[in-house]
Amino acid sequence: EWTTKEGCQMQYTKSNLASKDGVQEIMIKMRSTFANKRLDGLANVAGKSFPRATIEQIDFDLFDQMIALNCRAPIFLMKEAISIIKQQRSNKGGSIVNISSDAAFGGATDMFVYSLAKAALVNATKAAALNCQSYQIRINTVAMGQTATESELAFQSKSDQDWLSKADAQHPMGRLLRPIDIVASIGHLLSPASRMITGSVIPLCPEFIVGTLPPPHHQDDKDTSSNN
């Protein structure tokens, strides 16, 4: 269904990207929509980290669902977008942005399958970017940290209704990431401003500087000496 908002024409298609049929439906829709229109970019933002489970808690169904949505879907949508962009008559390249996670850099015990799926997407991004350099199709990934999404808020609020305010207060940058922060990074990578950026993984996780150890916690400077 096509709709117009703020001067932009948009089409909404609801599909289950955790299923093979759902991904193929979107691929077909992409092909038909851009048969006579230019495709400049793709943002693969669908994903989930719930239900959370350690390696001891996973089962076959959870494994397959997590891999399908967080890894298989964006890879095949990338494949379709690359094919469409290459076939455009006035091929001026394009940009693809995937969403990974800081869990891809080392894993999270309670997000075992999610972590490995996002790590796989990071490497898929690099391999695809290398493959598409000569077509001037740029492919990058944003590795986001903990973000106050609706699903995260719902999950955390089950145990603490004040979770967000506490998380904001404890965050070294003054607040947790918000979805708009992710959107801004995607917008930059899709735009001509990032013309020479490809095959990159952008760590959007200010609470976790990749490659560093967390700073030590210093107590307030106090004279604890005692005079006898």
| pLDDT value of position 210 | 78
Q: What is the largest CA-CA distance in the chain?
A: 88
Mean pLDDT score of the chain, rounded to an integer? 90
Prediction pTM value: 0.87
pLDDT in tens, 116-160: 999 999 999 999 999 999 999 999 999 999 999 999 999 898 899
C-alpha to C-alpha distance for 36 and 14, rounded to whole angstroms: 22
Residue 184: band (very low, low, confident or very high) from pLDDT cuts 50, 70, 90: very high
Beta bridge partners of 144: 101, 204
Give the position of tokens 């869990």.
103
pLDDT in tens, 66-83: 999 999 999 999 999 999
| pLDDT value of position 211 | 77
